[in-house]
Chain A
Amino acid sequence: MTQSVWSKIGTVVGAALILIWCLLPVAWIISLSFKSQEAVINGSPGFLPKSGGGAGFSNYKDVLTDGDFLLAIRNSIVVSLGATLLSVVIATLAAYAIARLEFRGKRFVLTTALVIAMFPVVSLVGPLFDMWRTVGLYDTWWGLMIPYISFTLPLAIWTLSAFFREIPWEMEQAAQVDGATSWQAFRKVIVPLAAPGVFTAAILTFFFAWNDFVFGISLTSTENARPIPAALSFFVGQDPFNRPASLLSAAAVVATVPVVVLVLFFQRKIVAGLTAGAVKG
C-alpha cells in the first residue's frame, strides 16, 4: 500500500524533473521573445518581464514582417516537406522489396545504408559545396533536398522494413486471391497496415530537414534557398556586438511551432498494434 503510494509519488516527481529539464530552455526562449531589446541588454532579466520591459507581440510582428525571414520560412517548409515526401516514398518501396524479396546483396544494401547514416555530416559539406556549385545546385531547394533525402533514407528504410516484416504475408496473398494485382495488394493492404511506420519515418525525416543547420548555412547564399536555422544566424541587427536576443527568440518560437503542430498531428496516426486482429490474436 505505502509502497505503491511512494512509487506513484516517485513517478510524478521523476516525470516533473525530466519535464523541467527539457522545457526550461523552451520556456526561457518564450519568455525572452516577449521582452523588449532594452530589457534584455540591461542585464539581470527575470523570467517574467519587469514593468516596462515587456514588448507584447511586437517582436513577433517584427519577425513576421521581415521579408527575408518569411522567405526562409517558405524555403524551410518547401525543402523539408519535399525531402520528407520523396524520402518516404522511396523508402517505402525499397523497404518493401527488402522485406519481401530474397535477392543477392540484400545484406550489402542494408549495411551500406547504415554506413551512410553514420557518416559525419560535416565531412560531406566541403565536397558537396564544390559539386553543387559546378552542377548548378548551389543555393537551390534541390541542393538541400538531395542531401536531406540521402541522409534520412537509411533510417527510413530500416524502420519501414521492420514494419513490413511484421505484416503477415498471407494478407497480401489473400488480396491476390481476392483479385488484386501485386500493386493493388501493396497499395490497398500493405501500405495502410504500414501507416504507423510510414508516419514514423516521415516525422524523423522532417525533423532532420527542418532542424538542419550545417547544410543550410553551407549550401545556400541567398534567400533563394536559405532555411530558417541558417536565416536565424543572419539576424544581426544594428549593433553587431549586441545581437537582438528577443527578436531571435521570437523567430525561434515561430520556427518551433510547426514542428510541435506536426508531432501532435502525426501522433494520432502512429497507433501501434494496428495489425492486431489480422491474424489470430
Chain B
Amino acid sequence: MHMASIEMKNIVKKYGDGFPAVNDVSIDVADGEFMILVGPSGCGKSTLLRMIVGLEDITSGDLVIGGKRVNDLAPRDRNLSMVFQNYALYPHLTVYENIAFPLRLAKRPEKEVDEKVREASKTLDLDEHLQRKPANLSGGQRQRVAMGRAIVRDAQAFLFDEPLSNLDAKLRGQMRTEIARLQKKLGITTVYVTHDQTEAMTLGDRVAVMKRGVLQQLASPRELYEQPVNLFVAGFIGSPPMNFLPATVEGGQVTLPFGTFPLPAAKAEKAAGKGLLMAGIRPEHFEDATVLDSAAIDQARTFTARIDVREWLGDQQYAYIPYDAEAQVQDQLKELAREADSDSLRTQLVVSLDAQSKGQEGDEATLFIDTDKMHLFDPSTGENLTLNA
C-alpha cells in the first residue's frame, strides 16, 4: 500500500463567467493526514475536492500528489478513491460487485478480487448484504458500501464529499466515529469535505476553513476554536456560535453593551485606540456568578442582565439575553450570520451556564464574563486584533 501527500499550490478555478469559485488556495496535506475542507455552501470546498480527484479542470496552480504533478491526468490515472455525497452506487450491481468494480476494471485475478472484497466487507460489517442490490439497503448500509468501494483499492488517498449529509442525526454520529476509526486503521491520506462544523472539529487533524473560494484559516481544530484569525472563522466554528458585541477599548478596559470590564494588558494594548471594535466571546466564557465561588471571582467582571429564555439541557443550560445595538452593528452581525449560512433574527447574547444555575425566565441574573478569553476584531477587515494575545 502506497500512500501519498497532496500538495495544492495556488489553485484557482474560474468558470466561464470569470468568477473564481476557488481562488489561490494552497494547502499541503501530509502523508496519512486527515484534512477537512469546511465552509458554508458555495465556498468552493467541493470544487476543490473535485479538482483533486480530477472531475474538474484546474484553471491555474499545481496539484501534486505523491510528488507528481497530476493537473492533466484523468481521474482514473490519479489512483484516488472517492465517496460521493449521494454514494453513487451502481444500482444494477450487487453489493459484492459494487465493491469489486474498481478491481474488475483493473483486471485483477478473480482470487484477489474475492479476497479483497471479503476483507472490505468484513471491515465494514457488510458480509450479510453482499448479494443484495443497493436499492434494498438502508442509508447507512449504502454509505458503507460506498466506503467499501473506496477502500478495496489501494488508493493513494481517500476523498469524501459530504458523505454523511444524507443520514439522520443518530446514524451520522455513528458513521463519523466509523470513518475516524477506519482512517486511523488504514492510515491513508484523507481529504474530507463538509459543511458541518461538528464533523470538521471531531474528524480532522487539520481543518481548512473556506469562504467564497478563499482559504480563511488552516489549523488544528483546537487552534481554530481558540485562535480564529477573523470574524468569519470565529463565527463559523463553534455551536452555539461565538457572541459578537460592539466594543470600545480604552485604558485597559473594554466597554460592551452590558458594562465596562477590565481586559488583560496584552489584549488591551493590541486593541487600544482603534475606535469601535467587534468583541467576540464564546457562550461558555460566561457563567452564573452565583454558582461560582464568590471569593475567587473578580467582581469587576460581573454584570447583571435579564435572561429572556433558558434552555436546560441537563449537563448545562443555554440562556438568551437580548440587547439593543446600533443599526450599523446590527447590519454587520446579520452579514456575518448570512455568510456562515445561519440566521440571526435579533441581537442577543447566548451564554452557557452551569446546570445548577437557577432562576426564572425574565429574571435578572448576575453573570461573570471571562474577558481573558475574549477576542477583539477589526469590524472593517474582520481581522482578529488579539490573536495569540
| Residues of chain A at the chain B interface (Cβ within 8 Å) | 168, 170-171, 173-181, 184, 188-189, 192-193, 195, 274-281
Residue contact A277 to B133, C-beta cutoff 8 Å: yes
Q: Given A177-B81, A193-B92, A277-B135, A168 and B86 touching (CB < 8 A)?
A: yes
Instruction: Decide yes or no whether B295 CB sits under 8 A from chain A.
Output: no
- Determine the distance from Cα of A70 to Cα of B133 in the docked complex, in whole angstroms: 45
Tell me the nearest residue of chain B to A171, going by C-beta: B88
Residue contact B134 to A280, C-beta cutoff 8 Å: no
Contact with A along B60-91 (1 / 0, CB 8 A): 00000000000000111000111011111111
Instruction: Decide yes or no whether B137 CB sits under 8 A from chain A.
Output: yes
Tell me the nearest residue of chain B to A189, going by C-beta: B90
10 A/B residue pairs, CB under 8 Å, sorted by A: A174-B84, A177-B53, A177-B76, A179-B106, A274-B92, A276-B135, A277-B89, A277-B142, A278-B134, A281-B139
- Determine the distance from Cα of A276 to Cα of B142 in the docked complex, in whole angstroms: 12
Most buried by A among B87, B139, B153: B87
Residues in B38-71 with C-beta less than 8 Å from chain A: 53-55
Closest CB of chain B to A107's CB: distance in Å? 19
- Determine the distance from Cα of A195 to Cα of B93 in the docked complex, in whole angstroms: 13
Residue contact A170 to B53, C-beta cutoff 8 Å: no
Known: A178-B102, A276-B135. 10 other contacts (CB 8 A): A171-B88, A174-B149, A178-B81, A179-B102, A180-B76, A188-B101, A278-B86, A278-B88, A278-B134, A280-B142
- Determine the distance from Cα of A234 to Cα of B91 in the docked complex, in whole angstroms: 51
Instruction: Decide yes or no whether B239 CB sits under 8 A from chain A.
Output: no
> B137 to chain A: which residues have CB within 8 Å?
277
Most buried by B among A177, A193, A275, A281: A177
> B86 to chain A: which residues have CB within 8 Å?
168, 170, 278-280
Residue contact A277 to B84, C-beta cutoff 8 Å: no
- Determine the distance from Cα of A175 to Cα of B86 in the docked complex, in whole angstroms: 14
Residue contact A280 to B166, C-beta cutoff 8 Å: yes
Residue contact B91 to A177, C-beta cutoff 8 Å: no
The count of residues in chain B whose C-beta lies closer than 8 Å to any C-beta of chain A is 32
Residue contact B91 to A178, C-beta cutoff 8 Å: no
Instruction: Decide yes or no whether B328 CB sits under 8 A from chain A.
Output: no
Instruction: Decide yes or no whether B136 CB sits under 8 A from chain A.
Output: yes
Q: Given A168-B88, A279-B87, A178 and B136 touching (CB < 8 A)?
A: no
- Determine the distance from Cα of A173 to Cα of B90 in the docked complex, in whole angstroms: 11
- Determine the distance from Cα of A175 to Cα of B87 in the docked complex, in whole angstroms: 12
> B135 to chain A: which residues have CB within 8 Å?
276-278, 281
Tell me the nearest residue of chain A to B149, going by C-beta: A178
- Determine the distance from Cα of A177 to Cα of B167 in the docked complex, in whole angstroms: 23
Contact with A along B83-112 (1 / 0, CB 8 A): 011111111100000000110011000000
Residue contact A173 to B142, C-beta cutoff 8 Å: no
Q: Which 10 A-B pairs have the closest CB atoms?
A: A277-B135, A174-B88, A277-B134, A278-B91, A279-B86, A170-B88, A178-B102, A179-B105, A192-B92, A176-B75
Tell me the nearest residue of chain A to B138, going by C-beta: A281
- Determine the distance from Cα of A159 to Cα of B84 in the docked complex, in whole angstroms: 28
Residue contact A180 to B105, C-beta cutoff 8 Å: yes
> A275 to chain B: which residues have CB within 8 Å?
91
Closest CB of chain B to A13's CB: distance in Å? 37
Closest CB of chain B to A195's CB: distance in Å? 8
Q: Which among B55, B105, B153, B166 is the interface contact of A173 at CB below 8 angstroms?
A: B55
Q: Given A277-B134, A280-B139, A176 and B76 touching (CB < 8 A)?
A: yes
Residues in B221-240 with C-beta less than 8 Å from chain A: none
Most buried by B among A179, A180, A277: A179
Residues in B105-137 with C-beta less than 8 Å from chain A: 105-106, 133-137
Residue contact A177 to B92, C-beta cutoff 8 Å: no
- Determine the distance from Cα of A193 to Cα of B90 in the docked complex, in whole angstroms: 9
Tell me the nearest residue of chain A to B55, going by C-beta: A173
Q: Given A192-B92, A277-B133, A177 and B55 touching (CB < 8 A)?
A: yes
Residue contact B91 to A176, C-beta cutoff 8 Å: no
- Determine the distance from Cα of A201 to Cα of B133 in the docked complex, in whole angstroms: 26
Residue contact A176 to B74, C-beta cutoff 8 Å: yes
> A170 to chain B: which residues have CB within 8 Å?
84-86, 88
Q: Given A184-B105, A277-B134, A277-B136, A177 and B90 touching (CB < 8 A)?
A: no
> B89 to chain A: which residues have CB within 8 Å?
277-278
